[in-house]
Amino acid sequence: MKHVLVLNGHPDPDSGTLTHALARAYQQGAEEAGCMVRHIDVGGIDFPLLRKAEEFGTEPSQEAIVHAQDAFLTADHIVILYPLWLGGPPAMLKGYMEQVARANFFLGKTGRGFPSGRLKGRSARIIVTMGMPALVYRLWYGAHGVKAFNRSILNLAGIRPVRTTLFGGIGMKPDRCAAMIEKVRELGRHVA
């Protein structure tokens, strides 16, 4: 049985957002496929931002962060959904990932002292919603914010492959939301 972590990175705890609907759809699809799914909504968690290097180097004590570390370790596949804000993930999601990464949770060392990702053997799917057309974000802006998140956090932790799904034009064509939700449900059914 495949273990899936669905991490909703939308900072708004209101469950009425498109990102929340997409997270629920992926979870439903994965459960229909027989997967065990753990779901975390970052917007519903109260945690402090890290301000000092010493804090980053210490073990987390907050139950929600320890729970998240366990969810990452248990997962075979990790799905992270978020809205694009100022070209990248919302600050709250980035702060949450910093909390989870504390005390070298994502990194080990090789025999030669080089960093080695501790989460090898896991795959990920990143699902990002945005107001601008996705093609414009990819071609004109180079999708740098999403690429940085994928490479500097997930790939560094050893998670590969990381597949990305971009949904653009959110708000311009509200009738497309149902099609997006069904597409994400289908991704969940195939855990891809």
Domain map (residue ranges) of the chain: 3-190
Question: When comparing pLDDT for 113 and 73, which is higher?
Answer: 73
Contact 122, 79 (CB under 8 A): no
Contact 60, 69 (CB under 8 A): yes
Question: Is 49's pLDDT higher than 90?
Answer: yes
Contact 137, 123 (CB under 8 A): no
DSSP class per residue in 81-125: EEE-BTTB--HHHHHHHHHHTGGGTSEEE-TTS-EEETTTT-EEE
> Which tens digits make up the pLDDT trace of 78-103?
999 999 999 999 999 999 999 999 99
β-pair partners for 102:
none
Average pLDDT estimate for 51-70: 95
State the distance between the two ends of the chain, measured CA to CA, in whole angstroms: 15
Q: Quick one: pLDDT at residue 172?
A: 65
pTM (predicted TM-score): 0.95
Fold adopted by 3-190: Rossmann fold (3.40.50)
Query: Mean of the per-residue pLDDT values for the chain?
Result: 94
With a CB cutoff of 8 Å and minimum separation 6, the contacts of 85 are 91
Burial class (CB in 10 A: 0-12, 13-18, 19+), 95: middle
Residue 104 CA: distances (Å) to CA of 75, 98, 115, 118, 120: 18, 10, 10, 9, 14
